[in-house]
Amino acid sequence: MKAAEIREKIFYNAVWKATACNHREIKKLKEKGIAWEGIFSKLGGGNGLPDPEKEWDKLENNGISLIMADEPDFPALLREIYWPPFGIYIKGENGVSKNTAVGIVGTRKATDDGVELSRRFGAELARAGISVISGLAFGIDAAAHKGCLDAGGFTAAVLACGLDSVYPKSNERLAEEILSKGGVLISEYPPGTPPLPHRFIERNRLVSGLSSGIVVVEAPEKSGSLATARFATEQNREVFVVPGPANHRNFSGSHGLIRNGARLVSKVSEILEDLNITEPSERIGSGETEEERLVFEAIKNFSEPAGIDKIAEITELESRAVSQALTLLLLKNIVKENGEGYTLMNN
């Protein structure tokens, strides 16, 4: 990267920090065609403002990268949205644009059934080669990330704070697991930015913006997930909603979305169909693959449900190959999945 490009990033980061991440204020200045260093000068040029070099050091010390909207690595889908970010901060593998992505969102105060459903959707989407986007919150978000990771997939967590910290703090271990398994943390905000309430709404437009469709699982009447669904509609993304009991408060917002035209879904195959995504079994062909045979034999010899890691150890296959084979076997109703792992359908 050229020195001039790095310098612009340094000053963009300083401007973002100096304006307390005020997107509207920055947009007005940027529309005048001024470079980021010039905008910083207009703000006072260092008079009581953050030191650009010191602020940039915080990124490097925390392993954070900044990708500007005009760079090739910037997610193309984000360029298409209304109110696009000028740049995004990332930590981890920038693989968001490699595959089709689906966002999974819902209430933090999810039911046990909702958590399990979100985990299963995350896992099944991952096995179909779909990236999973969510917000690392309690409940539905965390379950979606975990399901995707358990299936060996790629997941991105979009945060409403700087990437030098994790919110909620209790999900730090999950954030570390996302990074260790090749996923990514994304934010619009520089290090040191706190997770103020309005930033969760701002964050939600990125969750939908990075996705081809959004799955809403358990959204009460005032859930932030409804804002994500609204952004998705404005961004011309598909909105999928899992229905629930008519009188349960966790579904009051969900059912409102369905009344307003969102697509009702109860399984991942319906999402893939609506997004015109070919399922793995159709991509590979109708014949049994060697990976399927190895995975089937391994499961047949287990006396109890087996997880992906255990199957991979026995078969000496990579986790992604095991996940793909399991998807085929699940679609053919040869194996079944429960909360503990995989067993043969007739067990």
Last residue of a domain, one of 231, 255, 274: 274
Q: Does residue 15 lie in a domain region?
A: yes
Strand partners, 92: 184
Neighbours of 249 (CB within 10 A): 13
In this structure, the answer to whether residues 259 and 243 fall within a common structural domain is yes
Q: Please check whether residue 13 is in contact with residue 66, taking contact to mean a CB–CB distance below 8 angstroms.
A: yes
In this structure, the answer to whether residues 287 and 140 fall within a common structural domain is no
What is the C-alpha to C-alpha distance for residues 96 and 98, in angstroms, rounded to an integer? 6
In this structure, the answer to whether residues 125 and 234 fall within a common structural domain is yes
What pLDDT does residue 325 have? Answer: 87
Q: Does residue 69 lie in a domain region?
A: no
Give this prediction's pTM.
0.80
In this structure, the answer to whether residues 246 and 286 fall within a common structural domain is no
Q: Does residue 74 lie in a domain region?
A: no
CATH of the domain at 205: 3.40.50.450
In this structure, the answer to whether residues 228 and 156 fall within a common structural domain is yes
Q: Does residue 151 lie in a domain region?
A: yes
Q: Does residue 78 lie in a domain region?
A: no
In this structure, the answer to whether residues 4 and 134 fall within a common structural domain is no
In this structure, the answer to whether residues 249 and 314 fall within a common structural domain is no
Q: Does residue 158 lie in a domain region?
A: yes
Alpha helices in 19-93 (DSSP H): 23-30, 36-42, 52-61, 76-79
Q: Does residue 86 lie in a domain region?
A: no
Q: Does residue 66 lie in a domain region?
A: no
In this structure, the answer to whether residues 36 and 117 fall within a common structural domain is no
CATH of the domain at 299: 1.10.10.10
Q: At what angle do helices 224-234 and 252-259 cross, to 10 degrees?
A: 20
In this structure, the answer to whether residues 287 and 178 fall within a common structural domain is no
What domain range is 12 assigned to? 1-61
Walk along the chain (347 residues) and give the pLDDT tens digit of each residue. 688 889 999 999 999 999 888 888 888 888 877 899 998 988 875 567 889 999 999 999 999 999 999 999 999 999 999 999 999 999 998 888 888 999 999 999 999 999 999 999 999 999 888 999 999 999 999 999 999 999 889 999 999 999 999 999 999 999 999 999 999 999 999 999 999 999 999 999 999 999 999 999 999 998 999 999 999 999 999 999 999 998 899 999 999 999 999 999 999 999 999 998 865 444 433 346 888 888 988 888 787 888 999 999 989 898 888 988 888 888 777 888 887 888 886 55
In this structure, the answer to whether residues 235 and 317 fall within a common structural domain is no
What is the C-alpha to C-alpha distance for residues 265 and 272, in angstroms, rounded to an integer? 11
Of 190, 186, 176, the C-alpha closest to 209 is 186
Q: How many domains does the chain have?
A: 3
